[in-house]
């Protein structure tokens, strides 16, 4: 899936069954390359996600002189160069479609003694970057954006970074991680206060690489995270669990299909990532965890899902940061639920790979769902769909494409989804697994 003219055609309905394993967690895959490269010694990674986004991170560190062998069926060997061992790349570092890679890399590169430029594809070039350039500038970094705070990012050497106390205006794991990575190179102790819980893979992995990060609860929502500059990272082997964001499509699929019984194996169930499970359970989903274990400090389990009759709910705002990437497919679940589902406090969805509020409202409306976008969320009235159109525009957003495939389970006719090439960024074998569990999805290439 490498051209820009790929269409998905999904047949209505389907019976879901079996056991599958989805690709490795993208968030952990990104961070494993970053910290393995900056560590002293050799890091072995298994289960690495071989999608375009995480491969862009891998290539960037290779271009900065890091010896990385692989990936080979998810296995990677990294010869770390230490915190000060990176070399100036010969060209701009291309982050492709990955906002995570660009924002986290900016924190690392802010502390380097050489100039770099971070670029991305057309979609990434419209993503807001002031949320990371503002705290980095406050630390003394020399960093600039294009017009309106968009990429590319140009980073020049600074005499020294200084620690700051940063109160994040909104909950964002990417911003938190960026500041913590810059804190590795800063004089003093950098602290970040997040207004609500976000994924904590960065903190866990830093600790796993022998670099102390202290997290302290301030109240039920706020957390203070502190890191002292000037230490070193020690190589650490990483087993990347399956990505709950990828599993989410199959969790919703089994929930809304008839007579389904599906097991998704070895999924990371870090509590900062399980908002999708919490939301669906509030709606009445039948989800159970089996074979729970810890892998490298990350909780992992097999997730069993059976068919359920869902009911509409008001989604608690405290769950929004814990399910931010899963809302396209949560909207699909809501479209089948009895009554209204109301989402608020999710403005962040408007500045993802697409405006996921408007794009999903348009897509659901096209297949006959009552979906009303609001400034910070959506109101969806569930029920059986009455076909309006079979043509869906994904706006080059992989999660829109995959979510609307799952919508086919409750559709009255074939759904055709345009611009699906970006599914390869996060889920290279999505089509294969969808057909394996009992749906009918075909791929067409124009031209």
pLDDT in tens, 215-236: 999 999 999 999 999 999 999 9
CA-CA-CA-CA dihedral for 113, 115, 121, 126, to nearest 10 = 90
Fold of 26-239: UDP-n-acetylglucosamine1-carboxyvinyl-transferase; Chain (3.65.10)
Q: Which CATH number applies to 6-24+241-445?
A: 3.65.10.10
Q: What is the predicted pLDDT for the residue at 390?
A: 72
More confident residue, 239 or 389: 239
Out of 102-116, 286-300, 407-421, the most confident range is: 102-116
237 is catalytic: no
When pLDDT is cut at 50, 70 and 90, the band that residue 1 belongs to is very low
The answer to whether the pTM exceeds 0.85 is yes
As a whole number, mean pLDDT of residues 157-161 equals 91
Residue 350: helix, strand or coil by DSSP?
Answer: helix
pLDDT tens track for 5-41:
799 999 988 889 999 999 999 999 999 999 999 999 9
As a whole number, mean pLDDT of residues 55-78 equals 97
Per-residue b or e along 203-235, where b marks 16 or more CB atoms closer than 10 Å to that residue's CB: bbbbbbbebebeeeeeeeebbebbbbbeeebeb
Q: Where in the chain is the domain with CATH 3.65.10.10?
A: 6-24+241-445, 26-239
When pLDDT is cut at 50, 70 and 90, the band that residue 383 belongs to is confident
Q: What is the predicted pLDDT for the residue at 426?
A: 76
CA distance 287 to 265: 13
Residue 258 tokens, joined: 């008839």
Q: What is the predicted pLDDT for the residue at 2?
A: 43
Q: Of the listed 94, 278, 325, 397, which one is catalytic?
A: 325
Nearest to 256 by CA among 310, 210, 215, 297: 310
pLDDT tens track for 78-132:
999 999 999 999 999 999 999 999 999 999 999 999 999 999 999 899 999 999 9
pLDDT tens track for 295-327:
888 999 999 999 999 999 999 999 999 999 999
Q: What is the predicted pLDDT for the residue at 425?
A: 74
């Amino acid at each position: 899936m490498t051209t820009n003219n790929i269409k998905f055609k999904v047949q209505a309905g389907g019976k879901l069954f079996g056991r599958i394993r989805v690709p490795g967690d993208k968030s952990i895959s990104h961070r494993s390359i970053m910290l393995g490269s900056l560590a002293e010694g050799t890091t072995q990674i298994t289960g690495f996600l071989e999608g375009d986004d995480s491969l862009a991170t891998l290539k960037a560190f290779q271009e900065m002189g890091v010896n990385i062998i692989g990936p080979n069926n998810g296995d990677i060997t990294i010869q770390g160069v230490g915190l000060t061992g990176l070399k100036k790349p010969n060209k701009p570092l291309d982050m492709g479609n990955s906002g995570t890679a660009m924002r986290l890399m900016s924190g690392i590169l802010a502390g380097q003694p050489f100039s770099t430029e971070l670029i991305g594809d057309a979609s990434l070039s419209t993503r807001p970057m002031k949320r990371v350039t503002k705290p980095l500038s406050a630390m003394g970094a020399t960093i600039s954006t294009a017009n309106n705070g968009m990429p590319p990012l140009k980073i020049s050497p600074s005499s020294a970074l200084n620690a700051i106390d940063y109160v994040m205006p909104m909950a964002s794991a990417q911003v938190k991680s960026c500041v913590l990575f810059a804190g590795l190179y800063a004089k003093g102790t950098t602290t970040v206060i997040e207004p609500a819980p976000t994924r904590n893979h960065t903190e866990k992995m830093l600790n796993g690489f022998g670099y102390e990060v202290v997290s302290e609860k301030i109240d039920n929502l706020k957390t203070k995270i502190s890191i002292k500059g000037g230490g070193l990272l020690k190589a650490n082997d990483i087993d990347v669990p399956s990505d709950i964001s990828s599993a989410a499509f199959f969790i919703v699929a089994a929930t809304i299909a008839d007579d389904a019984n599906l097991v998704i194996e070895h999924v990371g169930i870090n509590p900062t990532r399980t908002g999708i499970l919490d939301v669906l359970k509030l709606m009445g989903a039948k989800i159970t965890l089996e074979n729970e274990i810890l892998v490298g400090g990350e909780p992992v389990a097999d997730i069993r899902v059976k068919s359920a009759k869902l009911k509409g709910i008001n989604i608690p705002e405290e769950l929004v940061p814990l399910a931010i990437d899963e809302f396209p497919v949560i909207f699909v679940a809501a479209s089948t639920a009895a009554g209204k589902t109301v989402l608020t406090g999710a403005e962040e969805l408007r500045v993802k790979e697409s405006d996921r509020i408007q794009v999903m409202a348009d897509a659901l409306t096209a297949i006959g769902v009552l979906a009303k976008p609001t400034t910070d969320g959506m109101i969806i009235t569930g029920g059986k769909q009455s076909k309006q159109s079979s043509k869906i525009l994904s706006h080059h957003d992989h999660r829109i494409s995959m979510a609307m495939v799952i919508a086919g389970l409750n559709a009255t006719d074939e759904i055709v989804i345009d611009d699906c090439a970006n599914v390869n960024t996060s889920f290279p074998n999505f089509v294969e697994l969808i057909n394996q569990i009992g749906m009918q999805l075909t791929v067409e290439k124009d031209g």
